[in-house]
Amino acid sequence: MSSQTTRRQFLRQTFAFSAAAATGSLSRALAQPVDPRAQHILMIGDWGAEDMTRGQQQVAASMVSYAQRNALKPQSLFMLGDTWYGDLDGGAASQRWNTQFEKLYPASAFPGPAYTIAGNHDYQHMPATVNKLHAELEYAKTGKSRWTMPARWYTFDVATPDHKPLLHVIATDTNAPHAIKPTDKVNFTLSEDDWHEQTQWLAAELARPTTAPFTIVLGHHPIYSNGPHGDHARLIADWEPMIRQHKVSAYLAGHDHDLQHLEFADHPTSFVCSGAGGADLYDIKIDEHQRGPYAMKVHGFTHLEATPDALTFRHIDETGAVVHAFSKSAGGKITIL
């Protein structure tokens, strides 16, 4: 853990609430009238296991049933990286696109775009003749899919149903340069030049004026995590100060195979991890009572309900149960639901 992190006071008391109260609140998490100004987004990370695991199938089925049960037509999906584990034979023409994306997350349930960012497993040559990241970019260019990945990093906006500004979203590539064994011909990362270029781009995008009440950053690697990967030193050094300065509402990540929600005293950004889309789960290394308010080893996905007044995040497990929920007002107030 970085010294920057240890100097912070984690919001333990702010988020303390009884188990009984939590149960009652979660049971009511969707028992409110649907706000006609709301847009609904479902997100997952770390989902494309090579053998299409039971976990991936259960989470995908739960996403479909959850949307149907709550009469939701999500505006979009956020796919938070690690799309393909293992070989992607055929690249952009692989059958896995149909079996593990188009059919599992069907357009009938999720008709909107599936905004995608690259994870570390996407930065692989598997098999040796296939660059999986290149295949993902090429698949988006076919124009025959909801798969949306116009570049390694890009921005987009989400408007309310009546076309008013709502979310400004910055999709990033967090595969920062790091040492790789010379004999490893499978894995690769961004170059130092690419990382510098992206960091300059991110600074400019964060400084760009927006009329949207909320700015969200997507990045596969968490900046802070209670999982085994821990806090990310390069992101803390290069990006976190900008994210703090420009009061980003939420940073959404995957990478650690779990569901998390972290808040820090006097920090304007909520840190949400949704990396439980189907790959084998990871143990939590820092208990949520030490740093939270939530971190759990469980398969699932995350529902973002956005209105001009507030963001509401719900972590949903593979059975469709709401296991954690909170709202964040446009002014930054956090309420555990």
* pLDDT computed for residue 61 by the predictor: 97
Cα–chain center distance at 24: 27
* pLDDT computed for residue 182 by the predictor: 55
Distance, in Å, from the CA atom of 137 to the CA atom of 148, rounded to the nearest integer, reads 8
Return the residue matching tokens 């040492």. Answer: 179
Distance, in Å, from the CA atom of 195 to the CA atom of 224, rounded to the nearest integer, reads 19
Pairing of strands 114-116, 147-148: parallel
**For residue 293, which amino acid is it?**
P
Q: Is the dihedral of CA 214, 219, 225, 230 positive or negative?
A: negative
Tokens of 71: 């009469």
Alpha carbon distance, N-terminus to C-terminus of the chain: 29
Tokens of 261: 């929600």
Please check whether residue 285 is in contact with residue 226, taking contact to mean a CB–CB distance below 8 angstroms. Answer: yes
**For residue 279, which amino acid is it?**
A
Q: Strands across the sheet with 270-274, in order? A: 154-159, 165-171, 214-218, 250-253, 270-274, 259-262, 293-296
* pLDDT computed for residue 7 by the predictor: 34
* pLDDT computed for residue 3 by the predictor: 36
Q: Strands across the sheet with 334-336, in order? A: 147-148, 114-116, 76-79, 39-44, 300-306, 310-317, 322-329, 334-336
pTM: 0.91
Burial class (CB in 10 A: 0-12, 13-18, 19+), 13: exposed
* pLDDT computed for residue 184 by the predictor: 67
Tokens of 248: 């980003």
Question: How many residues does the structure list for the chain?
Answer: 337
Please check whether residue 315 is in contact with residue 42, taking contact to mean a CB–CB distance below 8 angstroms. Answer: no
* pLDDT computed for residue 30 by the predictor: 55
For each of the chain's 337 residues, which pLDDT tens digit applies? Answer: 343 433 344 444 344 333 333 444 454 455 456 788 899 999 999 998 887 778 899 999 999 999 999 999 999 999 999 999 999 999 999 999 999 999 999 999 999 999 999 999 999 999 999 999 999 999 999 989 999 999 999 999 999 999 999 999 999 999 999 877 655 678 889 999 999 999 999 999 999 999 999 999 999 999 999 999 999 999 999 999 999 999 999 999 999 999 999 999 999 999 999 999 999 999 999 999 999 999 999 999 999 999 999 999 999 999 999 999 999 999 999 999 9
Superfamily of domain 3-32+39-331: Metallo-dependent phosphatases (3.60.21.10)
- Classified as helix, coil or strand, 23 is helix
Q: Is the dihedral of CA 181, 184, 187, 190 positive or negative?
A: positive
* pLDDT computed for residue 52 by the predictor: 72
